[in-house]
Amino acid sequence: MSSMCDSGDLIYTARSLITNLKSYSEKQNALRWIRKINVAYKSPENEILKQDLLKALINKMEEGELVHPFNEAPPDGSIKALYQLIDEEDKTFSDYIDPSKGLWANKNRPLSPKRPMLYKLSPDGGAFLSSQPLPEQGVYCYIATCWPQNN
| 50-73 confidence digits (pLDDT tens) | 888 888 888 888 888 888 888 888
Is 136 among the domain residues? no
State which residues form the domain around 27: 7-117
Q: Is residue 126 situated within a structural domain?
A: no
* Residue 33 counted as domain residue: yes
The overall average pLDDT reported for the chain is 71
Domain count within the chain: 1
Q: Confirm whether 15 is domain-assigned.
A: yes
User: How high is the pLDDT of residue 129?
Assistant: 63
Q: Residue 31 — very low, low, confident or very high, per pLDDT cuts 50/70/90?
A: very high
The stretch 5-25 carries a mean pLDDT of 85
- The confidence score (pLDDT) of residue 137 equals 60
Domain assignment present for residue 123? The answer is no
Whole-model pTM: value is: 0.54
Q: pLDDT grade, residue 46 (50/70/90)?
A: confident
* Cβ burial, residue 125 (10 Å; 0-12/13-18/19+): middle
Within a domain: residue 142? no
With respect to residue 16, please indicate whether it lies within any of the assigned structural domains.
Answer: yes
Question: Does residue 134 form part of some domain?
Answer: no
